[in-house]
Amino acid sequence: MSNGSEVARRIAARSIAKRESGYADEVRRLIDAGRLVMAGSGSGSRPRVADIVTAAGLSNDAFYRHFRSKDDLIAAILEDGTDRLCSYLAHQMGKEATARARFERWVGGVLSQAQVDSAATTRAVLWNVGNVSREAMASPPSVNARLAELLHEPLGELGSRDPVFDARLISGATVGALSDLLWRKESPTSEDVSRIVAACLRLVG
């Protein structure tokens, strides 16, 4: 009986793994489709679930299998975008040997989201996030908090007495500068990066 039970467990585990893989693929397609539809809608109208599932090549049943509402999907799109940005920033910062250079890379990377090639999508996602319910946004950690974590080490090396507090403050200010660029539809310049870096370093002391 024990051998039979082991076979049953193994087959059941294989079936569950296949189902999980299929579900993960559905979620990925819905997130990518949601971002694409948002970019197409811009900041003038919110995308419909029907448009998102059509773009993903899935059904309403598939959508509601993973998300309670469109707001939940928008929150997931923001979290996914934050993951991608943090990964990109960490990679860029890893190329530098000094704390100041890593900090400059971080500022430049955050502001790069206002560059022409990505600004429309970033602007559309943030506009949609602004219309999402508090309940949907309560689960994922804030963008500022995630970005700030990358600054703890370099700010400590630069002399900050409280790197965690300073990182949160600097992250909020830099994301605010990004938002300003996005809504003015302006691309960041090297001077923008330099001025923010200089102001933040004065804050750190």
Could you report the per-residue pLDDT of 44-57, keeping only the tens digit for each?
788 899 999 999 99
Could you report the per-residue pLDDT of 115-146, keeping only the tens digit for each?
988 898 999 888 888 887 777 666 656 889 99
Residue 118: other Cβ atoms inside 10 A: 14
Query: Given a cut of 90, is residue 9 above it in pLDDT?
Result: no
What is the gyration radius of the CA atoms in the chain, in angstroms?
Answer: 21
Using alpha carbons, list the distances in angstroms from residue 124 to 40, 83, 85, 95, 201.
8, 18, 16, 31, 31
1 three-class SS: coil
Which tokens belong to 154?
A: 């370099």
Query: Given a cut of 60, is residue 2 above it in pLDDT?
Result: no
Alpha-carbon dihedral sign for residues 138, 31, 185, 194: positive
Among 143, 144, 147, 141, which residue's Cα sits nearest to residue 90? 147
Average pLDDT in the 146-167 region?
Answer: 95
Q: What does the domain layout of the chain look like in residue ranges?
A: 1-67, 71-204
CA distance 171 to 184: 20
Could you report the per-residue pLDDT of 52-93, keeping only the tens digit for each?
999 999 999 999 999 999 999 999 999 999 999 999 999 999
Fold classified for 71-204? Tetracycline Repressor; domain 2 (1.10.357)
